[in-house]
Amino acid sequence: MSTELPRSGIFRDGRHLYPVRIYYEDTDAAGLVYYVNYFKYAERARTEMLRNLGFEQERLRTESGLIFVVRHATADYRLAGRLDDDLTVATRMTGSGAATLDLSQEIRRQEAILVALEFQIACVGVGAGGRPQRLPPELRAALDSISSATAAHRPSSIQPSGVNPQHAR
C-alpha cells in the first residue's frame, strides 16, 4: 500500500497515511523491527500530517512558542515488522481538548496491523515553562476538517489513571 503514497503521506477517509520502509538499521539481531522504532515511525507520521496541514513544527515553535509533547502513549504489539517491509502508518484523530489531541495510529503491512498505538499529545508553551496552551484556532480548524471527532473527550482506551486496561494484566 505505501509504495503508492507520496513521501509526506496523504489524507484519505479521515486518516493520514504515511509510508515507511524498514531498513537494516531498524532491526534487531533477529531481523525484526526493534520495538521502540514503531514510536519513531508514529512520530514521523504525526509530523508529516501536521506539515501537510500547513503547520511545520519548527515554524510553530519559533513564531508562537508552541511545541507538542507526548502526554500519554500505549502500544499493542501484534505482529513483527521485518527487513525490507513496506509499511503504512495510519493516523486518525479520536478527540481533542483545549490543549490536547487524542490520536490513534496503526502501523500496517498491507491489511495486517503490526502495532496499534494510542497517543495523547499536549500543546505546551516553551516560554510558559512547559505549561499547557490552547491549540491554535487555525490548527484546530484544519484538524477538524479531516476528522469527524471534534468533541473534547478522551478515547475509551486512555483512562484517567494512565493505565490502559488491556495492558494492566
Terminal-to-terminal C-alpha distance of the chain:
34
CA separation for the pair 43, 108 (Å, rounded) = 15
**Is 144 in the active site?**
no
The edge-to-edge listing of strands for the beta sheet with 100-109 is: 10-12, 15-21, 86-96, 100-109, 112-125, 66-77
Could you tell me which residues come within 8 angstroms of residue 63 by beta carbon, excluding any fewer than 6 positions away? none
Q: How many CB atoms lie within 10 A of CB 132?
A: 16
Residue 146 has, within 13 A of its CA and on its CB side, a CA count of: 21
Q: Which of these is catalytic: 26, 28, 86, 102?
A: 28
Tell me the three cell numbers of residue 70: 507526548
Q: Which of 68, 69, 127, 73 is nearest to 104 (CA)?
A: 73
For helices 37-52 and 57-64, the axis angle rounded to 10 degrees is 70
Which residues carry out catalysis?
28
